[in-house]
C-alpha cells in the first residue's frame, strides 16, 4: 500500500499547529492594541455640524466664558447647548448677513433648536452629571482638552470606562480649586487643595468606584 | 497484532466505513435536524428580541434556561464521571460503554453551554465573564454565578472533549487503515495525528488517557457543585442549603448513567453490536442505574429529614415544594427517578431492551422535573406580599429545549455514523488477555 502521507506532512502539520497558536496570540495582541487606539474611540475626529462653529474663536480669541453658552453646567447633568437666542445676542449685531449663520437665524425665527451632532456622546447606560464634576473641582479642560484652541470640536480623551475609573480611583491629582475650573491651560501645583479635602477624596474613592455611581 | 484480533473488531469499524446507512438513520437525522433548525430559530429570536420572550420575570428570573442547563450538565457530569472511573479502574465494562459515555458527556456539555450564554440577554458580550484586560478596567465579579458558569462550562468542554478524543486516537488510526477511499483515509489519518501503534505510542497514550481520566474525577465533583452553589449562595430558603451539592452530584450521576444506558441499548439494537455490548454489560449498567437511583432516593429522604430539623422558614419553603401548588413537579420527580428504576431489581427487566429504554428515559424525565421543582418550586413562596404570579415556560423556551434535545440527538447520530461507537483497541486488548489467560 502506498504511503498515505509524505514525510513532509508531519512537518506541515506541526507548522500549522504552531501557526494557529501564533495566530491566536497575534489576534489577541491586535485586539488589545485596537481597543486602545484613539481612532477606535473617535479621538481627534470632528463631526459634521450644521454651523461651522469655532471654539478657538469664541472661547480662545474672544474669551467668552464656557458658561455663557453651556449655561446649566454648574447645576444640571447636562451642560446645556445654547439656544439660538443666546447666539443672536451677539449675532444680531455681528456677522448679521453671513450665510453660514443661516441655520441660527432660521432657528431663531422658527423657534426650532439647531441639531448639533454630539462629539462626546456617552452610552445611555452611563450616568454622567456635569454639575457633580464641575462643582467638585473637575475642570472642563480635564475631559474636553484645550477647547479654546479647537477650530473644530473633537474628543481629546477616549471617554472609555477605564479612563473614567482612572480618575474615580484617585481623583485628587485631577482636582482644581473652584476658581480654576473654567481656566484653560491651567498648571497644577499639587498643593493647591487643602489636606483635608485630599484626605476626603482618598476615602471617597471606594464610593466613587461603586457600580451604581455611574450605572443606575 | 494477529489477524484474529483484526477480524474481531471489524463489525465496529465497518459501521463508519460503510457507504450506506439505512433509511431509519436518515429519518432520525432529518427529525433531529429539524429540531436543530428550531434551535437556531429560537436562539436568533431571543438574540434579537431579548429574554422578554421567555416566561421569566421577577421573582422567577430563572426558568427553562437554568432548568435545562442544570439538567444537561447533570447528564454530562454523570456520564463523564462514569467513563473516567471505568478507565481508571480498567473495568471490563469500559470496553463496551466508554466511548459513547464520553461522547454523551461531550454533547451534553455543548447543549448545556447554550443556555447560560443566551440567558445573559446580550449573548454577544459573553466574553465579559472572562478575565481579560478590557478597556473598562474592571475584572469580572468572581462572586457572580455568571463567572462560575463560564469556568465550569469551558473547563468541562476542554476536559470531556480531551477524554473523548484521546480515547479515539488509536481507533481513528484503525479506520484510516481500513478505509477504502483515499479521501476517507486522509480525513481519518489527519485526526489520527500520525498514530503508528508503536510501543512508545501506546505507552504515551495510556498515560495521557489515564491522566485526563484522573483530571475528570475532582473536576466533575467541583463542576456539579458549582451548579449547586449557584442555588446555594442565594438567600432563597429552600436553596440556601449545604446539602445542595450532594443532591446535584448524586442525582446527576443517576441521570448520566441512565442516559448512558439508554444510548447503550439503542446502539446495541440499532447497530447490532450485541457481541461488544453484551448482556453482562447491560446487566451491570442496569445495576448501577438502580444503585444510583437508590442514592438519589436517600438524598430525597435526607431533604425531608433536614427540612424537619431546619428553622421554620426553610421548613415551610421545603414543605411547600412537596405539598404546595407545584407539588406535582416534586412527586413526578420522585416517581420517575426513584420508583420506576426499582424495576431493575428484576433481572428480566435489566435484560430487556424496552425496559432499559423506559427506565433510562424516565430517570432523565424525573431529574428534569427535579430541577424544575427546585428552581420554580423553590421560589413559590414569595417573601414580598405583592407578587402573585408563577412561572410557566413560553413557546420560545420550549422550542429552545426541544432544539437542544435535537442537537444532542443529531450529534449522537453523526457520532454513530462516522466514528466507532465501541472502543476497538480496548476490545482487542480484552480479547487478547482472554486468549493468553
User: Do B121 and B51 touch, CB atoms closer than 8 A?
Assistant: yes
Residues 6 or more apart whose Cβ sits within 8 Å of residue B99: B164, B167, B168, B171, B419, B420, B421, B422, B423
Q: How confident is the model over B200-229, as a mean pLDDT? A: 90
B142 touches A: beta carbon within 8 Å = no
The mean of the pLDDT values for chain A is 90
pLDDT band per the 50, 70, 90 thresholds, residue B112: very high
CA distance B383 to B320: 13
DSSP A153-169: --B-S---HHHHHHHHH
The dihedrals phi and psi of A138, each to the nearest 5 degrees, come to: -90, 120
Residue B381, pLDDT > 50, answer yes
Q: At what angle do helices B23-49 and B93-119 cross, to 10 degrees?
A: 30
The dihedrals phi and psi of B60, each to the nearest 5 degrees, come to: -85, 70
Q: Residue B3's pLDDT is what?
A: 41
**A175 forms bridges with which residues in the sheet?**
A138
B185 touches A: beta carbon within 8 Å = yes
Tell which residue, B324, B336, B325, B326, has the closest CA to residue B300: B336
**Chain A residues lying within 8 Å of B189, measured CB to CB:** 4-5
**Residue that the C-alpha cell 449522537 belongs to:** B412
Residues 6 or more apart whose Cβ sits within 8 Å of residue A6: none
Q: Would you list the domain boundaries of chain B?
A: 15-432
Q: At what angle do helices B93-119 and B244-270 cross, to 10 degrees?
A: 120
Q: Residue B403's pLDDT is what?
A: 95
- Each residue's pLDDT tens digit, B384-420: 666 666 788 899 999 999 999 999 999 999 998 888 8
Collapsing DSSP to helix, strand or coil, B26 comes out as: helix
User: Do B423 and B95 touch, CB atoms closer than 8 A?
Assistant: yes
Q: Residue B437's pLDDT is what?
A: 63
CA distance A120 to A105: 26
B189 touches A: beta carbon within 8 Å = yes
Cα within 13 Å of Cα(A160), Cβ side: 18
Task: Find the closest chain A residue to B188 by CA distance.
Answer: A4
Q: How confident is the model over B370-396, as a mean pLDDT? A: 79
Q: How confident is the model over B236-252, as a mean pLDDT? A: 89
- Each residue's pLDDT tens digit, A90-103: 999 999 888 999 99
Are the Cβ atoms of B135 and A13 closer than 8 angstroms?
A: no
Are the Cβ atoms of A160 and B135 closer than 8 angstroms?
A: yes
Q: Residue B5's pLDDT is what?
A: 47
Residue B19, pLDDT > 90, answer no
Residue A135, pLDDT > 90, answer yes
Query: Does the domain formed by B15-432 have CATH 1.20.1630.10?
Result: yes
Residue A214, pLDDT > 90, answer yes
Q: Residue A70's pLDDT is what?
A: 95
Q: Residue B21's pLDDT is what?
A: 75
Residue A190, pLDDT > 70, answer no
In angstroms, the separation between the Cα of residue A35 and the nearest Cα of chain B is: 7
Q: Residue B298's pLDDT is what?
A: 95
The C-alpha cell at B399 is 422550542
- Each residue's pLDDT tens digit, A47-60: 999 999 999 999 99
Q: Residue B82's pLDDT is what?
A: 86
- Each residue's pLDDT tens digit, B255-264: 999 998 998 8
pLDDT band per the 50, 70, 90 thresholds, residue B4: very low
B183 touches A: beta carbon within 8 Å = no
Are the Cβ atoms of B137 and A161 closer than 8 angstroms?
A: yes
User: Do B35 and B409 touch, CB atoms closer than 8 A?
Assistant: yes
B343 to B174, B237, B253, B360: CA distances (angstroms):
40, 35, 18, 11
**Chain B residues lying within 8 Å of A35, measured CB to CB:** 134-135
In angstroms, the separation between the Cα of residue B41 and the nearest Cα of chain A is: 29
B137 touches A: beta carbon within 8 Å = yes
B8 or B178: which carries more pLDDT confidence? B178
A78 to A131, B221, B249: CA distances (angstroms):
8, 53, 54
Collapsing DSSP to helix, strand or coil, B337 comes out as: helix
Q: Residue B24's pLDDT is what?
A: 86
B58 or B101: which carries more pLDDT confidence? B101
User: Do B429 and B94 touch, CB atoms closer than 8 A?
Assistant: no
- Each residue's pLDDT tens digit, A59-70: 999 999 999 999
Are the Cβ atoms of B135 and A166 closer than 8 angstroms?
A: no
Mutate to test the interface with A, among B131, B133, B178 (most CBs of A within 10 A): B133
Which residues between 318 and 347 in chain B have a beta carbon less than 8 angstroms from any beta carbon of chain A?
A: none
pTM of the predicted model, to two decimals?
0.85
Q: Residue B2's pLDDT is what?
A: 38
Are the Cβ atoms of A161 and B133 closer than 8 angstroms?
A: no
Residue A155, pLDDT > 90, answer yes
Any idea which of A188-202, B149-163, B387-401 has the lowest mean pLDDT? A188-202
Q: Nearest Cβ partner of B135 from A10, A13, A36?
A: A36
**Chain A residues lying within 8 Å of B133, measured CB to CB:** 32
**Chain A residues lying within 8 Å of B136, measured CB to CB:** 160-162, 165
Q: Would you list the domain boundaries of chain A?
A: 119-214
**Residue that the C-alpha cell 476490545 belongs to:** B427
Query: Which among A22-36, B45-59, B117-131, B316-330 has the top mean pLDDT?
Result: A22-36
End-to-end CA distance of chain A: 71
Tell which residue, B434, B98, B77, B12, has the closest CA to residue B285: B98
A196 or A135: which carries more pLDDT confidence? A135
B97 to B17, B166, B278, B302: CA distances (angstroms):
20, 15, 10, 32
Amino acid at each position: 500500500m502506498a504511503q498515505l502521507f509524505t514525510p513532509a506532512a508531519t512537518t506541515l502539520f506541526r507548522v500549522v499547529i504552531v501557526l494557529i497558536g501564533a495566530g491566536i496570540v497575534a489576534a489577541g495582541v491586535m485586539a488589545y492594541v485596537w481597543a486602545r487606539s484613539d481612532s477606535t474611540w473617535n479621538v481627534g475626529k470632528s463631526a459634521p455640524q450644521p454651523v461651522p462653529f469655532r471654539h478657538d474663536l469664541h472661547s480662545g480669541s474672544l474669551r467668552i466664558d464656557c458658561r455663557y453658552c453651556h449655561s446649566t453646567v454648574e447645576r444640571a447633568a447636562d451642560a446645556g447647548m445654547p439656544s439660538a437666542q443666546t447666539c443672536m445676542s451677539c449675532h444680531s449685531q455681528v456677522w448679521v448677513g453671513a450665510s453660514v449663520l443661516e441655520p441660527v437665524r432660521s432657528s431663531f425665527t422658527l423657534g426650532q433648536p439647531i441639531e448639533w451632532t454630539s462629539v462626546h456622546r456617552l452610552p445611555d447606560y452611563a450616568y454622567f452629571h456635569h454639575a457633580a464634576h464641575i462643582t467638585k473641582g473637575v475642570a472642563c479642560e480635564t475631559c474636553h482638552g484645550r477647547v479654546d484652541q479647537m477650530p473644530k470640536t473633537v474628543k481629546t480623551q477616549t471617554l472609555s470606562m477605564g479612563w473614567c475609573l482612572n480618575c474615580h480611583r484617585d481623583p485628587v491629582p485631577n482636582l482644581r480649586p473652584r476658581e480654576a475650573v473654567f481656566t484653560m491651560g491651567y498648571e497644577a501645583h499639587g498643593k493647591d487643595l487643602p489636606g483635608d479635602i485630599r484626605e476626603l477624596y482618598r476615602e471617597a474613592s471606594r464610593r466613587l468606584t461603586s457600580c451604581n455611581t455611574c450605572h443606575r | 497484532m494477529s489477524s484474529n484480533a483484526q477480524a474481531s473488531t471489524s463489525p465496529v469499524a465497518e459501521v463508519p466505513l460503510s457507504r450506506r446507512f439505512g433509511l431509519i438513520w436518515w429519518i432520525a437525522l432529518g427529525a433531529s435536524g429539524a429540531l436543530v433548525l428550531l434551535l437556531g430559530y429560537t436562539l436568533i429570536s431571543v438574540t434579537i428580541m431579548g429574554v422578554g420572550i421567555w416566561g421569566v420575570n421577577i421573582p422567577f428570573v430563572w426558568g427553562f434556561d437554568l432548568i435545562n442547563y442544570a439538567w444537561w450538565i447533570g447528564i454530562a457530569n454523570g456520564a463523564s464521571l462514569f467513563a473516567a472511573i471505568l478507565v481508571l479502574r480498567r473495568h471490563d465494562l469500559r470496553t463496551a460503554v466508554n466511548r459513547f459515555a464520553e461522547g454523551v458527556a461531550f454533547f451534553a456539555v455543548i447543549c448545556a453551554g447554550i443556555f447560560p450564554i443566551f440567558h445573559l440577554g446580550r449573548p454577544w458580550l459573553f466574553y465579559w465573564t472572562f478575565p481579560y484586560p478590557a478597556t473598562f478596567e474592571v475584572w469580572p465579579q468572581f462572586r457572580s454565578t455568571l463567572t462560575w458558569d463560564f469556568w465550569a462550562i469551558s473547563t468541562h468542554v476542554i476536559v470531556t472533549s480531551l477524554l473523548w478524543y484521546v480515547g479515539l486516537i488509536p481507533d481513528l488510526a484503525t479506520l484510516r487503515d481500513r478505509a477504502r477511499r483515499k479521501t476517507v483515509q486522509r480525513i481519518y489519518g489527519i485526526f489520527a495525528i500520525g498514530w503508528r501503534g508503536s510501543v512508545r505510542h501506546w505507552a504515551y497514550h495510556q498515560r495521557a488517557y489515564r491522566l485526563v481520566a484522573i483530571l475528570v474525577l475532582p473536576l466533575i465533583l467541583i463542576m456539579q457543585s458549582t451548579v449547586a452553589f449557584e442555588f446555594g449562595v442565594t438567600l432563597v430558603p429552600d436553596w440556601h442549603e449545604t446539602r445542595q451539592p450532594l443532591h446535584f452530584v448524586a442525582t446527576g450521576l443517576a441521570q448520566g448513567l441512565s442516559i448512558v444506558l439508554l444510548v447503550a441499548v439503542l446502539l446495541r439494537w440499532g447497530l447490532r453490536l450485541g457481541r461488544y455490548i453484551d448482556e453482562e454489560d447491560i446487566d451491570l449498567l442496569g445495576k448501577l442505574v438502580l444503585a444510583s437511583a437508590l442514592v438519589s432516593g436517600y438524598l430525597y429522604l435526607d431533604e425531608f429529614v433536614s427540612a424537619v430539623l431546619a428553622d421554620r422558614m426553610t421548613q415551610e419553603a421545603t414543605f411547600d415544594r412537596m405539598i404546595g401548588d407545584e407539588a406535582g413537579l416534586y412527586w413526578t420527580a420522585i416517581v420517575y427517578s426513584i420508583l420506576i428504576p426499582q424495576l431493575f431489581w428484576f433481572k428480566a427487566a435489566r435484560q430487556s431492551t424496552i425496559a432499559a429504554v423506559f427506565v433510562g428515559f424516565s430517570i432523565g424525565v424525573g431529574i428534569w422535573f427535579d430541577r424544575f421543582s427546585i428552581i420554580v418550586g423553590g421560589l413559590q413562596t414569595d417573601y414580598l406580599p405583592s407578587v402573585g404570579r408563577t412561572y410557566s415556560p413560553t413557546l420560545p423556551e420550549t422550542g429552545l429545549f426541544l432544539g437542544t434535545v435535537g442537537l444532542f440527538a443529531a450529534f449522537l447520530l453523526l457520532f454513530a455514523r462516522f466514528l466507532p461507537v465501541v472502543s476497538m483497541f480496548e476490545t482487542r486488548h480484552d480479547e487478547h488477555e482472554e486468549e493468553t489467560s
